[in-house]
Amino acid sequence: MLGSTRREVELSTITVRAFDSSFELNVDVTKVERREPLVIDNLNYQKIIDSYAHLQGVQMTDSDPEPHLPVHLILGASENAVIKTSEGPCVGLAGEPVAEKTKLGWTVNCRIEYCAQ
């Protein structure tokens, strides 16, 4: 089924800052109305970092113990290019987690079967 709708959306500009305030980025955001917030499973990044030798030295600034974490903001590709640093990613074997240092802090990307608690 194909269709289209017209809807007014609320557009705002916010400032995203690194935890240590060393970097900030102004981002245009669209408010999304949802009955329930978008959440992701907490993969316990410190446990993942401790489990893989190639991730030693990665330091996460947030260690929330909750089983599910709310998603507050989704950055697009253009913002990702702005927050990249010249530091290369921490890469292990195929399929293992990859960590990358950004101007906002570390990110850890992993396949769920390798990073499940």
Tell me, what's the pLDDT at 116? 60
How many independent structural domains does the chain possess? 1
- Amino acid occupying residue 12: S
Tell me, what's the pLDDT at 113? 64
pTM of the model: 0.75
The model's pLDDT over 61-90, given as tens digits with 9 standing for 90+, comes to 878 899 999 888 888 888 989 999 999 999
Domain-located, residue 15: no
| HEC profile of 69-107 | EECCCCCCHHHHHHHECCCCCECCCCCCCEEEEECCEEE
Output the CA torsion sign for 84, 58, 111, 87: positive
Give the domain range for residue 66: 36-115
Domain-located, residue 19: no
Domain-located, residue 104: yes
Domain-located, residue 64: yes
Domain-located, residue 6: no
- Amino acid occupying residue 72: H
Domain-located, residue 43: yes
